Structure 1
Amino acid sequence: MKTGIRITILYLSITLLFSCQASKDVSGYYSSNFPVIGFFGTAIQLNPDSTFEYRFAGDLMSDKANGIYKLKSDTIYLAYNPEQPDEFIMSLPDSARQTFKALEVPNYAAANRPYKLLYRKEKLLEINEEGEVVRRKEGESRNRRWLLWGDYYMKKRKYYLEKRPGKTIVK
C-alpha cells in the first residue's frame, strides 16, 4: 500500500514538474544580421507589455508600424495597428487634404511585413504566408569575386533578426 502511494506521489510530482514552464522573455530589440539585397534592413522592438515597434528601411522604401504581439510556444504572432492619418494633413482644409491624398505614395513595404516570427536562441526567424520558416535571403557575399580583388557578389545567406542588447527603436 505504501509503495502505491509513493508511486502516485512520484508520478504527480514529475507531472507537475514538467507541466510548469518558465515563460520566455522575448522582449528586446532585434535587427537583421545583414542588409537584404545590399539595401534593406529590418528592426523590431518587442516590449514586455506585449506591444511592439516595427521598422523597415532601405533604398527608397521605408515602413514604420506598431501593434501587439502574442507568444505561443516558440511562435510570435504580430497584430499591426491600423495606420493613423497624419495630424498635419488632418489639420488642413478639405481641398488641400484632397490634394495631399492624390499625391500620396502607396506604402509597398507594408505588404511585406512579417505576421509570424519563430523565436530560437535569441534570434527571430520570419515565417512566410505558407507557414515555412525563411532561413535564407539574398544578400551581399562577405568575399570578393576573386580572391583579393573584384566586387562583392550576391548570394543566399542565413537570415535572421538578431537580439541586440542595450539598443531600442527611437520613436
Structure 2
Amino acid sequence: MKIFILILALLLLSSCSSQKKLQGIYKSNKAEFDFFVTKIELKNSNEFNYVFSGDLQHTELSGLYKLSGHNLYLKFSKNKGEIESLNDSLTISDILSGNYHNYDLKNENGINHHLKYKIQGNKLFAYGTKDGQLKKKSKIYTNQKKFLFFGTKWKNKRVYLKKITS
C-alpha cells in the first residue's frame, strides 16, 4: 500500500510541472531560400519586436502578442502597408528600409493577428500566411548535391524559430 501511495504521489508531482517562460529571443535555425532569417523578441509585457532580413530586405516591426493554447498570435502595431517609423515624419531611409508588412489581419477564436506560430518546447513553427497550414519544412540551399555528382543543391529541411536567449 505504501508503494502505491508513493507511486501516486510521484505521478502527481511530475504532472505538476511549471510552464516554461515564453519570453526571450527566437531566431531561424536555417536561412530559408539561403537568404531570409526571422528573429522575434518576446517581452514580458506581451510586446514583441519582429525582424525579417535577407537579400536586400530588412524589416523591423513591433506589436503585441497573445497566447492561446499552444499557439502564439502576433499583431503588428501598424496595418498592412503602413510604414513604421521611429519619428513622426518619414524620411527617405524609412521608406526604402521597408519597415512595413503585407500581412492581412486575420481573426481566429476572437483573436486578431497578422502571423501565427505553434509553440513546441523552445521552438516556434510558422503557419502559412495564405493557406493557414503549419509549415515545418522549407527549401534550404546546401553544399551537397542531391545525387553524387549531379542534381540540385536545394533540399526541403525542417525550419523553425529556436530560442537563443531567455
Q: Pick the TM interval, shorter chain.
A: 0.5 to 0.7
Shift, 1:128, TM fit: 1.7
Shift, 1:42, TM fit: 0.7
- Tell me if the contact between 1:63 and 1:109 (Cα under 8 Å) persists in the aligned partners: yes
Shift, 1:143, TM fit: 2.7
Cα-to-partner distance string for 1:145-167 (whole Å, 9 max, x where unaligned): 565x889811111110011136x
2:98 is aligned, of 93, 104, 107, to: 107
Instruction: Give 3-state SS (helix, strand or coil) of 2:38's partner.
Output: strand
Shift, 1:74, TM fit: 0.3
Report the CA distance shift for 1:28/1:104 in structure 2 as closer, same or farther (over 3 A). closer
- Tell me if the contact between 2:60 and 2:99 (Cα under 8 Å) persists in the aligned partners: no
- Tell me if the contact between 1:31 and 1:161 (Cα under 8 Å) persists in the aligned partners: yes
Listed as ranges, the gaps of 5+ residues in structure 1 are 1-16, 92-96, 167-171
Q: State the TM-score, normalized to the length of structure 1.
A: 0.66
Instruction: Name 2:6's counterpart in structure 1.
Output: none
Q: State the TM-score, normalized to the length of structure 2.
A: 0.67
- Tell me if the contact between 2:59 and 2:97 (Cα under 8 Å) persists in the aligned partners: no
Listed as ranges, the gaps of 5+ residues in structure 2 are 1-12, 105-113
Cα-Cα RMSD: 3.4
Instruction: Name 2:157's counterpart in structure 1.
Output: 157
Cα-to-partner distance string for 1:77-98 (whole Å, 9 max, x where unaligned): 11111244453x828xxxxx7x
Structure ID, larger Rg: 1
> Using the alignment, how far apart are the partners of 1:125 and 1:142 within structure 2?
25
Counterpart amino acid of residue 140 in structure 2: G
The number of residue pairs the alignment matches comes to 138
Shift, 1:135, TM fit: 0.6
Report the CA distance shift for 1:58/1:76 in structure 2 as closer, same or farther (over 3 A). same
Instruction: Name 1:62's counterpart in structure 2.
Output: 58
> Using the alignment, how far apart are the partners of 1:144 and 1:86 within structure 2?
45
Instruction: Name 1:10's counterpart in structure 2.
Output: none
Counterpart amino acid of residue 73 in structure 1: G
Structure 1 position 121 matched with structure 2 position 112: no
- Tell me if the contact between 1:32 and 1:41 (Cα under 8 Å) persists in the aligned partners: yes
Report the CA distance shift for 1:163/1:142 in structure 2 as closer, same or farther (over 3 A). farther
Identity %: 24
Cα-to-partner distance string for 1:109-145 (whole Å, 9 max, x where unaligned): 7226961010001100001233210111111135345
Q: Structure 1 stretch 64-73 or stretch 109-118: which is displaced more?
A: 109-118
> Using the alignment, how far apart are the partners of 1:86 and 1:27 within structure 2?
24
- Tell me if the contact between 2:61 and 2:76 (Cα under 8 Å) persists in the aligned partners: yes
